[in-house]
Amino acid sequence: MTTKTEPLPVDSLFDQTSPLGAGGPPDPVVYDGSARALRRRTINFAAKRFADMMYVTGLDRGSAEQHFRWRAVTIPGGLSARPAESADAVAKLEAAQHAGRIVIETNDPDCRVTIRWQDPALGDALTATAIARPGYGGILLGPHAAPRFDPAPIPRCAARPDHAWPVGDAVAPQPAIPALEGAADALFASSPGIYGILIATPERVIFERYSAFGRPDRVTPSWSMTKAITCTLIGRLIHEGWLHSVYHPAPAPLWRDPRSVHHHITLDHLLRMRSGLAFPVLHEDGRATLGFENSAVYQDATDAFDAAQRSIVATEPGAVYRYINSGLNVLGAIIRDCIERRGLSYHATLYGLLADRLGMASYQHSADITGNLVASGAGFATLRDYAKLGVLYVQDGVWNGERLLPEGWADYALTPTHAGTSYAACFRSNADRLFPDLPPDTAWASGASDQRIFILRQHRLVAAVANETDHPMDLAALNRAIVTAVGMVR
């Protein structure tokens, strides 16, 4: 006699099959698009800018005020549009500061900047704070008084003034080159924010010029040039065997569940801005939209890596190019996870993997309030150290006789592989002939305000240029300066 077995009940709302991994995709972070939140981000960014200029780059208060430009934070752009910029909004910020409603205070002993914005229309006054600490750049605290980690000193490589550049830091005097001098004169005359320009081969610096507020030992902002550092760190981890191919699923700590759509995002998608990541934006009137172009990592005093991993997947991974910062900070979370799963010190190991191996003693990332070294931007270095990254790529990933990057990595990182954009893997290429007199395969690390590291592999030439934030640079004059140097080394 057989016993009839009753079927198990099937839930009509939830799939109760045992999960294969973690508990599904992470809850998203919603971008607050209210007027008060945007104003808070505006002064947060301004506080970081001032802390960076005064306590990282080392400008005095007068020079910082001269270089500072207000930037009004607006609602992030959608898939096919950039955020709207308003000259009127900037004028209102300038007027508010002039009237004393916005006050910028600096505390030199503590390397601290505090900005207060009092406006009856806003209710309570808004306060934003940023500090600077060695090795952590400018740390945005926003309304908080202190970071949520201990910014203890980080063991770093020492400068090597007794060794010739690029392995060391000794730069031999350069003979005068009249053609380059003339080209540099034109560039500096029409580029009011320029700190300096350096042009070199892998063997020596052939030209170096600084403005009145620049100098060889002054670290300058890189903004998104830092993305090229992050890309190179991914190459280092692949070469060390800590990561697999760039075409494997991106092993972000919050993306462990193979059922999640995030599992379809590869390292390549993140490096080439084709991840499809976005975030919901809640407007003042209650509407919700999708935001893509986002600089909240420099405006929100929060955990940048956690917020990035909580982005939603808005388009099919690999299908659409859209420049965002979130994808790079997912890579930052992956790098940190790779380091800490091996029981290593995160900050010291990250610097030791690349910057210290190249002798970039001046280089430092900016940290977020939780101690993550922001992977999408806001690093600092001297021009001599920025140029060392270019030399590594000119030498196909070999440094001082040792291979640091996988064979073929330079081709991968510097070459665009999709139609419709000149973007490569965290580098930009000259495929659209932005610099008309340079070869089409010229590539560069690019920062938001015309900071660049040019890599001309067929000519074995690098050029690094530093510029202060929100100041225009004469790109036609920059083109002429570099092409003049190309003619000198042919």
Overall average pLDDT of the 446-452 stretch: 97
Q: How many residues does the chain have?
A: 490
Confidence band of 488 (pLDDT split at 50, 70, 90):
confident
402-426 pLDDT, tens digit each: 999 999 999 999 999 988 899 999 9
Q: Is the pLDDT of residue 334 over 70?
A: yes
DSSP sequence for 226-282: HHHHHHHHHHHHHHHTSS--TTSBP--TT---TTSGGGG-BHHHHHTT-S-EEEEEE
How far is residue 302's CA from residue 314's CA, in Å, rounded to a whole number? 23
Better-predicted residue by pLDDT, 22 or 118: 118
Confidence band of 80 (pLDDT split at 50, 70, 90):
confident
106-121 pLDDT, tens digit each: 999 999 999 999 988 7
Secondary structure class of 440 (helix, strand, coil): coil
339-377 pLDDT, tens digit each: 999 999 999 999 999 999 999 999 999 999 999 999 999
Query: Of all residues in the chain, what percent carry a pLDDT higher than 70?
Result: 97
How far is residue 338's CA from residue 167's CA, in Å, rounded to a whole number? 27
C-alpha separations of 339 from 69, 182, 350, 364 in Å: 38, 48, 8, 18
Q: How many CA atoms lie within 13 A of 86 on its CB side?
A: 11
Where are the chain's structural domains?
178-274+323-489
Q: What's the pLDDT at 1?
A: 55
Overall average pLDDT of the 175-198 stretch: 97
Q: What's the pLDDT at 8?
A: 67
* CATH number corresponding to 178-274+323-489: 3.40.710.10
Q: Do β-strands 277-283 and 31-33 pair in parallel, antiparallel, or remain unpaired?
A: parallel
Average pLDDT, the chain: 95
How far is residue 297's CA from residue 81's CA, in Å, rounded to a whole number? 20
Secondary structure class of 399 (helix, strand, coil): strand
Secondary structure class of 445 (helix, strand, coil): strand
